[in-house]
Structure 1
């Protein structure tokens, strides 16, 4: 179908302008230097579930504050590391203090010393943050290795536990004698 010349000429001009603009835009993108990503640390150690922790409260937590002591036992492994670490254990004994199940949420500071299967240890200074998301208690520990193997490295520990007993306790309908969490640990050089 032949179209009048008057119609074809503006179409060609518009097409030419679009193509020229596209070429200039592409040239500008190629000539602009791309931003480099910030250097990331090297993952020195990772431990995945079935890594776990068990926290025991004596006496069991209720929704009324009372003097309670707690013990957290960690089992790390399987772990992957270039240093030969494949597993580790740690026990954190918390002195008796006034606590209720409402205290399970929020933030705190902890020092944790892990003994690895190689016989070496790592002492970690950690900040703890715990929240309930749906039916899950999510506890995130971040900090650094202050001494021993991986000294100076950043630490990230994610603990996940069912929140059913906590929710029941905060409603005044039960107690929290213990918590079982799955654990993922990453130690990264800075």
Structure 2
């Protein structure tokens, strides 16, 4: 009985150490990605709605201007900023469009003249007083093709929530932007 206790006492610490090493070893990723480029605030986006969004469906022209910068790229040090603009009209738009999720594609034009086309899944949610929109996807063409991309826009939700209740309009949204493109 005492021999079994001594054997167990000697084996348990060794087993615990082995288990800890296995757990620690398995938490390390097999291959870590390399950050191709990161752009942080004061990167920003302004989206204008004409006419302003309401809860009554209507044709709305949506104009988007995004400024990326400062940006840092170790693989392409000349890349320091980027931009994208888009304008489109769509029928049946309401305030609820601001909270929709789904696929999206956009192209960033870098200060070097190169472009990156990103295909992503868009998710939008209100977190406290902020409207947070996240684009998670892949660079499908151009500079950094094949890399993953995550863009997070954080803007004020002050006009969004009243509008979804039919108590106001949304003429524009200003958001701070963070963009990270990582090779896999």
TM range (shorter): 0.7 to 0.9
* 1:147 corresponds to 2:138: no
Gapped regions of structure 1 (runs ≥ 5): 1-9
* 1:157 corresponds to 2:151: yes
Other structure's SS at 2:167 match: coil
- After TM superposition, the score normalised by the length of structure 1 is 0.84
Matched-pair contact (CA < 8 Å) for 2:101–2:123 = yes
Provide the residue aligned with 1:62 in structure 2. Answer: 54
- After TM superposition, the score normalised by the length of structure 2 is 0.87
Matched-pair contact (CA < 8 Å) for 2:59–2:89 = no
Report how many aligned residue pairs link the two structures.
180
* 1:169 corresponds to 2:169: no
Quickly say closer, same or farther: Cα 1:23–1:109, change in 2 above 3 A: closer
Quickly say closer, same or farther: Cα 1:165–1:80, change in 2 above 3 A: same
Distance in 1 separating the partners of 2:119 and 2:22:
43
Which whole-Å deviations, capped at 9, do the CAs of 1:37-76 have from their partners, x for residues lacking one? 2312111000001101000001000111111110111000
Any residues of structure 2 matched to 1:1-190 within 5 Å, and which?
16=6, 19-26=9-16, 28-29=18-19, 34-35=25-26, 36-82=28-74, 83=76, 84-190=78-184
Bigger-Rg structure (1/2): 1
Distance in 1 separating the partners of 2:110 and 2:29:
33
Superposition deviation, residue 29 in structure 1:
4.0
Matched-pair contact (CA < 8 Å) for 2:49–2:170 = yes
Shifted more, 176-185 versus 99-108: the winner is 99-108
